[in-house]
């Protein structure tokens, strides 16, 4: 049964997609079977892996069929129908759609809609070791669906005052989901992304994150450099495009910490 991680933070521009992509890559490097689910209407992860931001069938079609009264169960699009192989060994994609921007408007009247992603992924969970959900920068329905489907959330953050404020809001939102809708959701941790220790303000906020969130902060962290920022252009995770780089080593350390935090060796 797959471990499902939501990569989420309400603040945009902090590199959630980059973290999702490279985490998927480093787990695949270790031989794990990975599915990435692009729940962001912007489709950045889908674009990295396919060159297109919106594909059909994709996650939108699967979710919409839950409320399409013109289709019976035998006509519904399932996850297995929409999953695509990628050029990366052991890494598959459930692609995004620009139609995801309509999710809240179309699904408002359906009381169980927040559980639809969880239900949609159920038939394919045994096919993967890890499912990674790249979330939109909001607390709208798409993110709620992801957190209800997940059993762990990883929160990327930058070292800035706005990032720290949104980090606290994301932790609070996670706790609300835990209490009301998904008691199995674990707050796996906070990962510092795009950190530049040469900037004095960033060092101050780095220490503030460490002091405020303590053991939640992963020891691994990702430095800000051009090579890291350009990884997605090549459509390969950093462990493939720059296998001997500092960033690749950081992602391997990140992988080790995650496996320790979920006690993976004891669960297989």
Per-residue pLDDT of the chain (268 residues; tens, 9 = 90+): 899 999 999 888 888 999 999 999 999 999 999 999 999 999 999 999 999 988 999 999 999 999 987 777 778 899 999 999 999 999 999 999 999 999 999 998 888 999 999 999 999 999 999 999 999 988 899 999 999 999 999 999 988 878 888 899 999 999 999 999 999 999 999 999 987 766 667 788 888 999 999 999 999 999 876 666 666 677 899 999 999 999 999 999 999 999 999 998 644 4
Give the separation between CA 41 and CA 21, rounded to whole angstroms.
16
Give me the phi and psi of 187, to 5 degrees please. Answer: -85, 95
Contact 161, 125 (CB under 8 A): no
How distant, in Å, are the alpha carbons of 16, 120, 227, 249, 263 from that of 137? 9, 22, 24, 27, 29
Burial (CB < 10 A; 0-12, 13-18, 19+), residue 246, is middle
205: closest CA among 226, 189, 187, 221?
221
- Tokens read off for 108: 């408002």
pLDDT reported for residue 160: 81
- Structure confidence at residue 79 (pLDDT): 96
Chain centre distance of CA 227 = 21
């Amino acid at each position: 049964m797959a471990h499902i991680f939501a990569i989420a933070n309400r603040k945009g521009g902090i590199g959630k997609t980059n973290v999702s992509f490279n985490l998927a890559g480093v787990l695949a490097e270790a031989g794990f079977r990975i599915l990435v689910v692009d729940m962001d209407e912007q489709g950045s992860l889908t674009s990295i892996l396919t060159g297109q931001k919106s594909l059909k069938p994709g996650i939108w079609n699967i979710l919409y069929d839950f409320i399409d009264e013109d289709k019976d169960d035998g006509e519904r699009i399932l996850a297995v129908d929409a999953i695509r192989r990628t050029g990366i060994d052991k890494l598959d994609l459930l692609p995004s759609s620009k139609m995801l921007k309509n999710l809240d408007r179309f699904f408002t009247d359906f009381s169980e809609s927040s559980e639809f992603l969880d239900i949609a992924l159920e038939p394919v969970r045994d096919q993967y070791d890890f499912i990674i959900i790249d979330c939109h920068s909001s607390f709208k329905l798409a993110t709620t669906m992801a957190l209800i489907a997940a059993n762990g959330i990883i929160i990327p953050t930058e070292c800035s005052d706005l990032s720290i404020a949104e980090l606290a809001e994301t932790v609070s939102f996670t706790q609300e989901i835990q209490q009301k809708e998904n008691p199995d959701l674990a707050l796996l941790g906070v990962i510092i992304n795009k950190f530049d220790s040469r900037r004095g303000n960033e060092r101050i906020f780095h220490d503030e994150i460490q002091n405020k969130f303590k053991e939640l902060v992963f020891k691994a962290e990702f430095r800000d450099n051009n090579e890291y920022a350009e990884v997605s252009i090549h459509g390969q995770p950093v462990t493939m495009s720059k296998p001997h780089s500092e960033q690749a080593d950081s992602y391997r350390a990140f992988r080790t910490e995650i496996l320790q935090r979920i006690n993976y060796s004891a669960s297989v």
